[in-house]
Amino acid sequence: MTYRIVGIMGLAATLLLPVAAAAQLNVVTSTTDLADIARAVGGQYVKVKSIGAGYEDPHFIQAKPSFVLDLRKADVWAFVGLELESGWMPLLLDGARNPKIRAGGTGYLDVSKAIDVIDVPKGGVDRSQGDVHALGNPHYWLNPDNGIDIAKLFEDRFAKLDAKHAAVFQANRKVFEAQVKATEAQWNTMRAQTKGKPVVAWHASWKYLAEYTGVNIVGYMEPKPGVPPSPSHLAALIATIRKTGAKVIIMEPFYDRKMADFVAKNTGVKVLVLPSSVGGVKGVDSYLKLISHNLSQLAAAVK
């Protein structure tokens, strides 16, 4: 009887022992869009944090000490690349002193390597051309076709760092891709409404969305990337809008819309503020919701 009681008590003690948590890769991303896709692929085996918030301009992130600490513990540093983060990333990486996430390290992940980049300049680039990205347009996540390529890149890297769960990462990536394809049936209806429609954009960031939706960007609020519009540029843009019949100006929430409102007042176009990243506006808390929101808003605006 004594042995039986001891055996039962021993079993109970074993059952009460805490279950070891699944090992997780610490993943830090530069944007919320990359973070959401990384979570979808990594599932329970990754812990993901984004440096940038969805409502911030990713070119200009404040390099906070807390970000240095996050990167110091990171197994993966995934960033947009194409010089999008060049103003703040080097400072954070230098402060983190983490060889895994430095160039050449196992966790250094330049996501642009998975993308067919557009707007790669031909010839030399200098400051007279504005804030031109010498390696091409970095806002590629706004085309959901690229979202699928980003997911595959995460799968491959996570599998290399955590081979034991490679099959899980592959299955998760396939689920994400299937969700994109399923939602695309709705997106295609909206794309049919936007194809060929003339629009004005504030910044060249919307070219990938234009590529996917088929809208025709007939002009930009910026005369050159990062350069504010002059009176002469605004006059020319107003003439272009009247000539082409454009009905909308697309811009991000972090730009001052005063000049866009001026153009709208003089032409009758609508100023359409769209989030460029997950979390850019309330309720847009996933990558699929970001694409759906932007396509539905754009389709309604160009009718």
Write down the pLDDT at residue 22. Answer: 63
DSSP of 190-212: HHHHHTT-EEEESSGGGHHHHHH
Write down the pLDDT at residue 7. Answer: 40
Show the low-confidence residues of the chain (pLDDT under 70): 1-22, 123-132
Let me know the angle formed at the C-alpha of 110 by 148 and 116, rounded to the nearest 5 degrees. 50
Write down the pLDDT at residue 14. Answer: 40
Write down the pLDDT at residue 95. Answer: 96
Tell me the pLDDT tens digit for each residue of 215-224: 999 999 999 8
d(CA 251, CA 29): 24
The tokens for 179 are 């969700």
d(CA 58, CA 54): 8
Write down the pLDDT at residue 13. Answer: 41
Give this prediction's pTM: 0.89
d(CA 12, CA 6): 10
